[in-house]
Amino acid sequence: MAKRGDGVKQSARVAVILPCYNEEAAIAETIAGFRAALPEAAIYVYDNNSKDRTGEIARAAGAIVRVERMQGKGHVVRRMFADVDADIYIMADGDLTYDPKAAPAMVAMLAEEQLDMVVGTRQHEAAEAYRGGHVLGNKLFTGLLSGLFGRSFTDIFSGYRVFSRRFVKSFPVLSAGFEIETEISVHALELRMPVGEMVTAYGARPEGSASKLSTYRDGWRILKTIGTLYRVERPALFYGMIAWLLLLAAVVLAFPLLVTYLDTGLVPRMPTAILVTGMVIVATLSLLAGLILDTVTRGRREVRRLAYLAQPAPGAELLH
């Protein structure tokens, strides 16, 4: 890993935020790792209805423990971003898979380059750390996001991220579960925020810790999230594509009718003619809906941009 600056000023408020669910096997060591890497940081553990001793162990390890009753990582992130007040936020999982030693370099990168987010791109060596299906899924979704939004990240599903205050306080979290990383990535892409990536080690879970990610269920939810976000953030393209597909189908169906009409002056297949007319009307309405919603989306994006700009940018004032 490349060496960076010495860190941030002691007056800068740094918060480590750890969403947790049944992580009693790893949470104490995770807290100790971040405490050693960032002695000045406040460490928050948000317990999401754990059925084991996660909260108790985290409190004994010196973390500030809070509880989020609504189940799902998205709900936890919404609560953390709303409640925790800091200049720089480091978000990771409480399962010891992410390397706490990388945090100072990621924080320094954010401050030195005045970024709003640094993504810890996972580099795994142990086969059990990252299942092959997840590697393939990550690549597919990363490519899909790049195709839909013009650019993407190397690892859009990484849960190891450093944020500026203006990112956190301008982000209206809407997701409920593991699709939150996708929503975070789209938020950065839509507002054209300055972001960066840094390769970080990714290890296997310790014995007694189990993954909560369901490959197919959460993969489907992530795919739906990307589709929904594309419909919401790119309505002119989304509804315009539907309009052009309907118009193309209408032209294909109408061509034989037109040929018959030119030859005989008759329209023998009246149901097909009615269908074509309806398809053209629906296509026109879809195109108009896309144009109207695009205006609404621009207004919403301006509001988010203003909320983003209302917060100070990370920069030289945070450095030693």
Tens of pLDDT, residues 12-63: 899 999 999 999 989 999 999 999 999 999 999 999 999 999 999 999 999 9
3-class state of residue 309 by DSSP: helix
Higher pLDDT, 211 or 204: 204
Are residues 247 and 194 part of one domain?
no
Domain shared by 48 and 143, yes or no: yes
User: Which residue would you say has higher pLDDT here, 141 or 239?
Assistant: 239
**Interatomic CA distance for residues 85 and 67, integer angstroms:** 17
Domain end: 180, 206, 232, which one? 232
Q: Which pLDDT score is estimated for 313?
A: 77
Number of domains composing the chain: 2
Domain boundary among the residues 203, 232, 261 is at: 232
- Residue 319 CA to its chain's centroid (Å): 28
Higher pLDDT, 265 or 287: 287
Domain boundary, last residue among 207, 232, 257? 232
| Rounded-to-integer distance, Cα 175 and Cα 224, Å | 11
How many other CB atoms sit within 10 Å of the CB of residue 188? 23
Between 124 and 121, the more confident residue is: 121
pLDDT of residue 115: 94
Tell me, yes or no, whether 280 lies in a domain. Answer: yes
Closest of 301, 119, 114, 97 to residue 206, by C-alpha: 97
State how far the Cα of 269 lies from the Cα of 189, in Å rounded to an integer.
49
Residue 165: the pLDDT is 93
For residues 261 and 129, membership in a common domain is answered with: no
- Overall pTM surpassing 0.85 (yes/no): no
pLDDT, position 310: 85
Q: Is residue 239 part of a domain?
A: yes
Q: What is the mean pLDDT of the chain?
A: 84
pLDDT higher than 90, residue 314: no
Whether 198 has a pLDDT exceeding 80, the answer reads yes
Q: Do 196 and 67 belong to one domain?
A: yes
Provide the pLDDT confidence category of residue 270 given band limits of 50, 70 and 90: confident
Whether 250 shows a pLDDT value over 90: the answer reads yes
Of 7-21, 119-133, 245-259, 286-300, least confident by mean pLDDT is 119-133
Does 46 share its domain with 165?
yes
190 and 261 assigned to the same domain: no
pLDDT surpassing 50 at residue 146: yes
Q: How confident is the model at residue 1 (pLDDT cuts 50, 70, 90)?
A: very low
What whole-number distance in Å separates Cα of residue 241 and Cα of residue 305?
27
Higher pLDDT pick, 210 / 85 = 85
Range(s) of the domain holding residue 69: 14-232
If asked whether residues 184 and 142 sit together in one domain, one would say: yes
Residue 125, in any domain of the structure: yes
Q: For the chain, report the end-to-end CA distance as a whole number of angstroms.
A: 21
Are 190 and 80 contained in the same domain?
yes
Examine the domain organization and report whether 195 and 92 are in the same domain. Answer: yes
- Tell me: pLDDT of 129 over 50: no
Has residue 299 got a pLDDT over 50? yes
Quick check: is 313 in a domain? no
**Residues 98 and 242 occupy one common structural domain:** no
- For residue 184, give the CATH number of its domain: 3.90.550.10
Q: How confident is the model at residue 180 (pLDDT cuts 50, 70, 90)?
A: confident
